[in-house]
Chains A and B, each alone.
Chain A
């Protein structure tokens, strides 16, 4: 589904990503682990070109999205992203946060098909309410993000990504900014998405979660993927010395 070849990214002349090659298949839940500064976040931010790769190819939906001439907005609609700091739109209510992009992007096509503005709004509002119901936050529909807890914000950020019906969702350390007691509710939601076989790429420090939920684990070090395998292989039988050292420190 996503085929990455020879991905390079430099910051201030320093190689942060040093020629990454990896293919992510449909239905996989890929956990990306590794020490700080190994390039995990840069890697996941390069996948949807929030950071523009300096070199390399990212094939998605049959197009190289690393190419500047490709309309990246079109591809990002199919590639959701969840951030460490939630990044909910603070000037919009919870419901507006979820419906803004679908209304703006898909609403145009629906309008061309003859639907009225009101019908379109009702359609997306209903979808958003169903998503909120799923996470038990339908009573927060008209609240502003500043009134919510971190866990609530991140769950809303996840359903905001889901509302676009993406083919894949990228998670950039989704639980790192949360209070410990709120991590569980976010992981529960991600677990349920994994059970539905949604394709996910998750940069995380939650090793237990990676082991339990991911179908595949990538270990990054020094801007490269140094180990790639099933959770059992990576956690149970680490081969690379850097991975062994990393696991011994955190487990």
Chain B
């Protein structure tokens, strides 16, 4: 009890010092601006799974129809000129099984004004309203999945989403593996720099900007991974981009983190799509004028919205669920493997099982859990044709992964139990497996409890990779909350705090269990 109190006090001191450091160091607020020259000419379209001509044709004729009727122009005016009332839609927070009655759209926020989240927890944007209109016209129910930009392609390819609508640029490389609809918007890339940067003030054309960029050596330039910005910086033959060998290209998960890094002085510039760049500059400049107290207030206000407190709770629940169930599955699998591995190998069946188990351990310990999640969700499940919720896939993969680690822990635990315990059980006529499960394993578990606790703690932290398969875990929930105001500082700090509190609770729980197990040692 005393130690727990000391830990909590230490934690509070740590937090206060972190907040103090953060608030003191931010004496001057840096602002950002766009260099007002279009670097590229590109077109946005919607992306479908290769061969899904039915959807491509249907979407094309729908688009032609709303262009004809003026509905499309009204939507563009609404989002680019602010004319008319915008309509928001809910975002799917659980994995939706793609059925015929649904129109599942994969998108990536924030990409204002094409798709972005508002404080009310709804998703808005040109793409979203087109999707909604299409769904309505075809009698389908709209489901919007807000996931990573590069994941959109994977999800569409695996059939987890019908269509990707996220200001996606038509490019020759993508056309090889996906089908695009007719383009609906002409776009370009723009360069974002700090407001006090005067390097580009005299530039009048693309070639001026590019020669300026070519003259800079070794500076970092950020872009959102898998976007045209990435091709622009690194060069691409099909696009005719020569790229900049002198620049240090840096890929970010979304535009917002790229811009944060720019403000923090880690990179020199960011290449972004023009339309969202304007929105993100406005929001970021507004956010950086806020002090810590206002940021905290913003965060709390965001949480007052039931959608955001809801996803935070959901994220917390999913994180705990996957870690707890993953550990339980892990203990079961791990114990079975350990028993096979320590069993005497008289019979051929045991020899074969032993080889299978060591292969299993090799595979699951030898590959990162992210790779296992991606392979399970995007390769194995679609190819065997079963429908499974991403959260369940996550639980199973975490369980199987943990099983490999627990098996080695358990093997050590079993070996640490006196051989006489097994002999005594066998001499009474109990079978190997009965003696193992009733006598040896319980003693082994007692010995390995602290190590098992460590496994649980690392499991709960590792669950943050669940967002790779579009599960709302704690990380993804706080990421979303950070997107609302284009300010992630408080959400990131909160993420750290929540994880530490979770780990403290788990540690206390392990202590209690250890004490209960220790009763057979009492003298």
A interface vs B, CB < 8 Å? 48, 50, 68, 73-81, 83, 85-92, 100-101, 104-105, 144-147, 157, 160-161, 164
Contact = CB atoms under 8 A, between A and B. Distances in A.
Contact of B429 (A76, A90, A157): A76
B428 A76 contact: yes
Given A87-B423, A144-B520, 4 more contacts: A68-B346, A81-B428, A157-B424, A160-B428
Contact of B446 (A73, A79, A91, A144): A91
A48 B427 contact: yes
Interface stretch (B186-194, B285-293, B436-444, B484-492): B436-444
B412 interface: no
Contacts of A86: 420
Contacts of B519: 144
Interface string B125-156: 00000000000000000000000000000000
From A79, A104, A164, name the one whose CB has the most chain B CB atoms within 10 angstroms.
A104
A5 B443 CA distance: 39
B418 interface: yes
Nearest to A170: B427
Nearest to B424: A87
B520 A50 contact: no
A88 B346 contact: no
Contacts of A85: 418, 420
A105 B424 contact: no
A75 B431 CA distance: 12
Given A90-B421, A147-B523, A76 B439 contact: no
A22 B346 CA distance: 28
B429 A87 contact: no
A77 B431 CA distance: 11
Contacts of B439: 89, 91-92, 100
Interface of B: 346, 418, 420-421, 423-431, 434, 438-439, 442-443, 446, 519-523
B464 to A, nearest CB: 37
A164 B423 contact: no
A50 B426 contact: yes
Contact of A100 (B438, B446, B522): B438
Contacts of B421: 87, 89-90
Contacts of B426: 50, 73, 76
Contacts of B446: 91
13 contacts: A48-B427, A50-B423, A77-B429, A83-B423, A85-B420, A87-B420, A88-B424, A89-B424, A92-B439, A100-B438, A104-B430, A104-B438, A146-B523
A104 B433 CA distance: 12
B311 to A, nearest CB: 44
B428 A101 contact: yes
Nearest to A48: B427
How would you classify the secondary structure of chain B's contact residues: helix, strand, loop or mixed? helix
A101 B423 contact: no
A91 B520 contact: yes
A74 B521 contact: no
Nearest to A144: B520
Given A87-B418, A91-B439, A105 B430 contact: yes
A76 B423 CA distance: 11
A160 B431 CA distance: 17
B350 to A, nearest CB: 13
Q: 6 closest A-B pairs (Cβ-Cβ)?
A: A77-B429, A87-B424, A87-B420, A81-B427, A101-B428, A76-B429
A111 to B, nearest CB: 16
Contacts of B438: 100, 104
A83 B446 CA distance: 24
A50 B430 contact: no
Contacts of A88: 424
Contacts of A145: 520
Given A89-B421, A89-B424, A91-B442, A101 B522 contact: no
B523 A73 contact: no
B443 A91 contact: yes
A206 B418 CA distance: 26
A147 B423 contact: no
Contacts of A144: 519-522
A80 B423 contact: no
Contacts of B429: 73-78, 101, 105, 164
Contact of B424 (A73, A75, A78, A83): A83
A158 to B, nearest CB: 12
Contacts of A50: 423, 426-427
A155 to B, nearest CB: 15
Contact of B521 (A48, A80, A146): A146
Contact of B522 (A76, A87, A105, A147): A147
B123 to A, nearest CB: 55
A194 to B, nearest CB: 20
Contact of A161 (B428, B521, B523): B428
B442 A76 contact: no
Contacts of A68: 346
Contact of A104 (B427, B434, B442, B521): B434
From B346, B418, B428, B430, name the one whose CB has the most chain A CB atoms within 10 angstroms.
B428
Nearest to B442: A91
Contacts of A78: 429
